[in-house]
Chains A and B, each alone.
Chain A
C-alpha cells in the first residue's frame, strides 16, 4: 500500500489515544462494509473542544486518520469541528489511496456523531 510517511507516522505513533473520564460527549461509529470502528471522547467547555481522545480498531489508514482528526479538533469551536471533511483529514496526512478514503469518512462521522447533542 502506498502510504505517505506522515500517515505511517500517525499509525505507528498515534496521538490522542485513550479514553476521557467524565467526557461531555462520546461517540462510536463503525464502517458496516469493512468493519473498522472508532470511538471518540470529547471534553467541551462552552463552545470549544478542550480535549479529545480516541480508540480505533482497523487498518493503518483508519488508525492514522482517527488519530489525526482527533488531534485536529482539539482547540476548535464546535462549528469549525463540524466543517471538517474527509479531504481535510486525507490531505493533512499527505493523501490517501482511493480505496482508503472511506477511512477518513469514519473520523468525520465520529466527530459529527459526538457533536449531535450540542447546539
Chain B
C-alpha cells in the first residue's frame, strides 16, 4: 500500500544526508568529547560544529546552546532550572493554557511544590495577549513561559512583544520553540528570549536529541548532576551521533527556510482549499491567525476524530486528532478546549502536519479519500441529517 505521512508535528523522517553524517560517529569518530586524546578532541570538534549550526538556525551564540535529550528535557531544564535558581526571589510563574504537556505538567508539578502559576487563556484563534502577560507580572514573578508555535493548531505567538515586556520587567523568558524551529525563521535576539527549547526530530534529525538555548548570564540550576558537561548546565556524556545529526538537520532547515517552507505552505493551502470544497460542515481552526506553514487543524461535524484517523490509516494516510477517543485519558485536546471549542467539536478534529518531503500527489490523495470517509461515518451517525 502507498503510505502517506502527514503527521510531521509528531515526528519527521530523518533526512538521508543526516543519516550519512551520523553513521561514522558510531564506528570511527566514537570518542568521548570530554577525553583529551585525539578521539575525544575529534568528537568534540564534530559536536562543536553541530553546536554552531544549531546556534545559527536561531541566531544565538554557539556557547549559548546546551544539548539535551529532546524537547521535553529542554522545557524541564528551562522551567525547573529557573524556578529552583530564583526561588529566593519569588515563586510566581506565568504560562498559558495551550502549552505542550512538557511545559504544562512541569508547571503543574511546580504548583504542587508551592510555586504559584498564572495560567493565561488564549483568544479563539489560540493567541496569548501580551497585555495579559504584562498585567500578570508581579514583584515575585520569576519566569514567563509561552510557546512559540502551537503543536496542534500551529498558531504563532507574539513572542517578540512578550519578550519586550519580560525584558522591561527583568523576568526570565522561556519559549518552547520545538514546533517553530526550522519551520519559520527564529531570531532569539529579536524575540528577546532567555531560554528557547528545540528538538531535532521535528526537523528531519534523529530522536533523542534536542537543545536549550540559554542566554549568556542566565542562572539555571542543572537538573542532571555529574561530570559537569555542557558548561555545567547538563551532565552526561553527550549523544555525539545524535548531535551531529541535529547539526546537519539545522543547517538544512536554515538553507531551506524560504523556498522549502513556501512550498510546504502551498501544499497545506492546497489541502485546505480542496477539503473545504469537497466536504461540507468543516472548519479550519485558527485559519486567519499567524500559523505555521505546515500545520492544518480542521474540525469535522458529525464524525469522530479517532474513527477518521483509523479510516485514513486504513487508506495509508497518517494524521492525528485531538479527539478524546485517541488520547487514552478520554479528555479532548486541552488546546481546542482552550480556544473555546466544545468537547463535541474537539471530538471531530483532525491535524494534518506536512514536511518538505510531501508532494502534491500526497495532498491530492487526501482530498480524494477523506470526503468518502466522512460521508461513511456521517451515514452511521444518529445525529446527522443529510441536507
Q: Which residues of A contact B (CB under 8 A)?
A: 1, 3, 8, 11-12, 14, 17, 28, 33-39, 55-63, 99, 102
Contact = CB atoms under 8 A, between A and B. Distances in A.
A36 B381 CA distance: 10
A12 B330 contact: no
B324 A57 contact: no
A25 to B, nearest CB: 15
Interface of B: 302-307, 310-311, 314, 323-326, 328, 330, 343-344, 347, 377, 379-384
Nearest to A14: B380
A35 B347 contact: yes
A32 B312 CA distance: 26
26 contacts: A1-B310, A3-B310, A12-B311, A28-B382, A33-B330, A34-B347, A35-B347, A37-B382, A38-B382, A39-B382, A55-B380, A56-B380, A56-B381, A56-B382, A57-B377, A57-B381, A57-B384, A58-B307, A59-B304, A59-B305, A59-B306, A59-B307, A59-B325, A59-B326, A60-B307, A60-B310
B306 A60 contact: yes
A111 B371 CA distance: 32
B304 A36 contact: yes
Contacts of A57: 302-304, 377, 380-384
Contacts of A17: 379-380
B326 to A, nearest CB: 7
A11 B381 contact: no
Contacts of B302: 57
Contacts, number: 72
A12 B323 CA distance: 19
A63 B343 contact: no
Contacts of A56: 380-382
A1 B326 contact: yes
A39 B324 CA distance: 20
Nearest to A102: B330
A3 B328 CA distance: 14
Given A35-B347, A59-B323, 8 more contacts: A34-B325, A37-B382, A57-B304, A57-B384, A58-B304, A61-B325, A62-B325, A102-B330
Contact of B325 (A8, A39, A58): A58
Nearest to B345: A35
B310 A11 contact: yes
A12 B330 CA distance: 23
Contacts of B330: 33-34, 99, 102
A14 B314 CA distance: 15
A46 to B, nearest CB: 28
Q: Which residue of A14, A38, A39, A57 has the most chain B CB atoms within 10 A of its CB atom?
A: A57
Contacts of A59: 304-307, 310, 323, 325-326
A59 B325 CA distance: 6
Contacts of B382: 28, 37-39, 55-57
Nearest to A100: B325
A1 to B, nearest CB: 7
Contacts of A61: 325
Contacts of A34: 324-325, 330, 347
Contacts of B325: 34, 36, 58-59, 61-62
A99 B328 contact: yes
Given A55-B382, A59-B326, A99-B330, A35 B306 contact: no
Nearest to B384: A57
A55 B381 contact: yes
Contacts of B377: 57, 63
Nearest to A32: B343
A12 B314 contact: yes
Nearest to B325: A59
Nearest to A97: B328
Contacts of A60: 306-307, 310-311
Contacts of A28: 382
A8 B314 contact: yes
Contact of A35 (B303, B310, B344, B380): B344
